[in-house]
Amino acid sequence: METVRDIMSHHTDCCTTQDNIYEVAVKMKELNVGAIPILDGNNLVGLITDRDLAIRAIAEKRPNSSQVTDVMSPNLVTVTPNDSLEKAVSLMAEHQVRRLPVVNNNKLAGIVSLGDIALNQYSNEKAGLALVEISKELNF
């Protein structure tokens, strides 16, 4: 059985709790990604997605200088590198998220996304089912 380690993105750029949302948005643009992990020291404390920026920052008319902690998602669902892809898909569906931070000993090891799962030939059917569950009404 394949594990999260087999398909996750290992090199993940991050921001810190000292950064502002403008810096996160610029990093997303430069890297062409939709999520940036937020670290406090070496500890993962949150994640900011492009949706977080749209809903919690722009729609609430926050200035670009707002701290990342004002808009990040702090209660993260995570997996470990040794977790199965089936577990990752199940967690994505259950929590309606498209990306999961991968942690090892409470440190960020990477990110696994629904796209990673779909591209890995894990199971187009399972990835499709997860997408259906993820895409159901999101609660913010």
Strand-pairing partners, residue 36, are 48
Tell the burial category of 7 from Cβ atoms under 10 Å away from its Cβ (0-12, 13-18, 19+): buried
The conformation of residue 109, written as its DSSP 8-state character, comes to E
Q: What integer pLDDT is reported at residue 70 of this predicted model? A: 95
Q: What integer pLDDT is reported at residue 49 of this predicted model? A: 95
Q: What integer pLDDT is reported at residue 1 of this predicted model? A: 67
How far is it, in rounded angstroms, from Cα 74 to Cα 59?
19
Strand-pairing partners, residue 46, are 38
How far is it, in rounded angstroms, from Cα 104 to Cα 119?
24
How far is it, in rounded angstroms, from Cα 70 to Cα 86?
33
pTM, 2 dp: 0.82
How far is it, in rounded angstroms, from Cα 7 to Cα 119?
9
Q: What integer pLDDT is reported at residue 140 of this predicted model? A: 45
Q: List, run by run, the mean pLDDT of 10-residue segments along the chain (140 residues).
A: 90 95 97 95 94 95 95 95 93 92 92 86 56 55
